[in-house]
A and B are shown apart, each in its own frame.
Chain A
Amino acid sequence: MIYIIQNYWQAFLYSDGYNMTGLAMTLWLLVISCAIGFCLALPLAVARNARNPLLWGPVWLYTFIFRGTPLYVQLLVIYTGVYSLDVVQHTPALNAFFRQGINCTILAFALNTGAYTTEIFAGAIRETSFGEVDAARSLGMSQWNLYRRIILPSALRRALPVYSNEVILMLHSTTLAFTATVPDILKVANDANSATYNSFAAFGIAAVIYLCVSFTLIFGFRKAEQHFLAFLKS
């Protein structure tokens, strides 16, 4: 236990001397994939509620596929599957992108969390009370203004508790990155385990770090809820 901490604490937290590893890598994966997923989910959630089947159909298919299959399978398809295609190997740009494990990981994570986030936001948008929309229309707001000023701010606020769950689940999902050779916390723990055969200590340390991050996230989201959802307090 002491040996692992002494030898691997830097790797567990930020760097193995060459690359960003451990906690820093996990947080980076979490932040970048959630950020991309969020930007993806906003327009898709609006499209998901559109009346035109040509708009909501593809979005429904996207969320159906990405929520119906395990993230690990998605990662395998993108990391090992796409790279084995001839088209990808013979296009320099695609080749360079898909050769890097971290690019594939971020792409898979972002698409996955994007699908879940889309459904969360779409649900919140659907629950917007008709009075607010009627009032906005009666004031002559255009569709764009209606979404920007009325629907999205209120829907995003109401989606916050569910979205915080999704972010924490995403933190848990980032552990899959180590199967694509990305040096996150679990990869460091795995290395420590193979070097010392002290599995309980190696993975136990990883578990404690993840636990701390989870609790910090939960605490942060609770603060955010108190701030953004203050109007719901009775």
Chain B
Amino acid sequence: MFDLAGYGPQIIAGTITTVELSVLSLLVSFALGLLGASAKLSKSRALSGIATVYTTIIRGVPDLVLMLLLFYSLQIWLNDATDYFKLNQINLDPFTSGVITLGFIYGAYFTETFRGAFMAVPRGQLEAARAFGMRPLLVFRRILFPQMMRYALPGLGNNWQVILKATALVSIIGLSDIIKATQDAGKGTFRMFYFSVLAGLVYLCLTVLSNGVLLLLERKYAVGVRKAVL
């Protein structure tokens, strides 16, 4: 049924690259989101100001523009830095730049998701934890994070889907992902339509798969929560 004209290995490698890129970007943006949300909710004016500027600007500018801006400028800045410190030139490959830019962009979206989720955890719980003598990191790990995740999961799932689809843009800056592989295959065999649709199907499968995983996660983090019976 699937006639890949010998392009199968490239397409599979491209799919793996796409998945790797999305997972790594998710991790980076997850970490940035936690940091950003903590900064936004902190008492320090400067920290919350920086976080607000970050989320406002990033969410106001299209991801493709930011990606091109960072992709070209990061390399120039890095060259300047390595020149200044008399180091060898470090070349950023599209994959690394993709992870950095996607992580940086979606970190802003995660900041907003986590901010809402942090605020949804009852204050009393945090106070109780502190009354038990837990230090801030322990409070975060044992009390805040597990409860916050339940509120954050729907938003997180959305963001994951958006990241997965945004990885398609990274092929524009030259990453050999699923799009690049299928486009090459299409150009080589003169069957653009077939291979473009194939790329779409791969993405559809990934979306459906991740929907299933999200459902499982949601069930895991909702353990012990009583739902109203309507």
CB atoms of B191 and A84 under 8 A apart: yes
When distances are taken between beta carbons in the complex, the residues of chain B under 8 Å from A211 are 57, 60-61
Choose among B66, B76, B190, B196 the residue that contacts A77 (Cβ–Cβ < 8 A): B196
Q: Is A80 an interface residue (CB 8 A)?
A: yes
Q: Is B168 an interface residue (CB 8 A)?
A: yes
Q: Is B65 an interface residue (CB 8 A)?
A: yes
When distances are taken between beta carbons in the complex, the residues of chain B under 8 Å from A71 are 165, 168
CB atoms of B208 and A68 under 8 A apart: yes
Choose among B66, B69, B172, B204 the residue that contacts A68 (Cβ–Cβ < 8 A): B204
B179 smallest CB distance to A (angstroms) = 7
CB atoms of B207 and A84 under 8 A apart: no
Choose among A68, A199, A207 the residue that contacts B72 (Cβ–Cβ < 8 A): A199
CB atoms of B68 and A186 under 8 A apart: yes
Q: Is A179 an interface residue (CB 8 A)?
A: yes
CB atoms of B190 and A175 under 8 A apart: no
Q: Which of B35-63 contact A (CB under 8 A)?
A: 57, 59-63
When distances are taken between beta carbons in the complex, the residues of chain B under 8 Å from A190 are 68
Choose among B76, B169, B191, B196 the residue that contacts A200 (Cβ–Cβ < 8 A): B76
Choose among A64, A77, A207 the residue that contacts B61 (Cβ–Cβ < 8 A): A207
CB atoms of A176 and B64 under 8 A apart: yes
For the residues of B in contact with A, the DSSP-based class is helix
Q: Is A118 an interface residue (CB 8 A)?
A: no
Interface size class of B (residues with CB under 8 A): 35 or more
When distances are taken between beta carbons in the complex, the residues of chain A under 8 Å from B167 are 70
B172 smallest CB distance to A (angstroms) = 6
When distances are taken between beta carbons in the complex, the residues of chain A under 8 Å from B72 are 193, 199-200, 203
B116 smallest CB distance to A (angstroms) = 15
Q: Is B134 an interface residue (CB 8 A)?
A: no
CB atoms of A207 and B179 under 8 A apart: no
When distances are taken between beta carbons in the complex, the residues of chain A under 8 Å from B62 are 171-175, 186, 210
B158 smallest CB distance to A (angstroms) = 11
The chain A residue sitting closest to B206, CB to CB, is A68
CA distance A133 to B62 in the complex (A): 40
Q: Is B106 an interface residue (CB 8 A)?
A: no
Please, what's the 1-or-0 string for A211-226, where 1 marks a CB less than 8 Å from any CB in chain B? 1001100000000000
Q: Is B81 an interface residue (CB 8 A)?
A: no
Q: Which of A85-99 contact B (CB under 8 A)?
A: 85
When distances are taken between beta carbons in the complex, the residues of chain B under 8 Å from A171 are 62
Interface centre among B61, B63, B166, B179 (most CB of A within 10 A): B61
Beyond A72-B169, A199-B76, A200-B76, is A207–B66 a contact (Cβ under 8 Å)? yes
CB atoms of B69 and A76 under 8 A apart: no
CA distance A71 to B179 in the complex (A): 12
Interface centre among B167, B169, B208 (most CB of A within 10 A): B169
Q: Is A65 an interface residue (CB 8 A)?
A: yes
CA distance A205 to B106 in the complex (A): 21
Using a CB–CB distance below 8 Å, which chain A residues touch chain B? 64-65, 68-74, 76-77, 80-85, 171-176, 179, 186, 189-190, 193, 199-200, 203-204, 206-207, 210-211, 214-215
Apart from A76-B183, A200-B72, 6 more pairs, CB < 8 Å? A68-B207, A70-B167, A70-B203, A80-B186, A81-B192, A210-B60
Q: List 21 A-B contacts (CB under 8 A).
A: A70-B203, A72-B179, A77-B193, A80-B186, A82-B193, A85-B193, A171-B62, A175-B65, A189-B65, A189-B68, A199-B69, A199-B72, A200-B69, A200-B72, A203-B68, A203-B73, A207-B66, A210-B61, A211-B57, A211-B61, A215-B60
List 3 A-B pairs, minimum CB-CB distance, nearest first. Answer: A199-B72, A70-B168, A172-B62
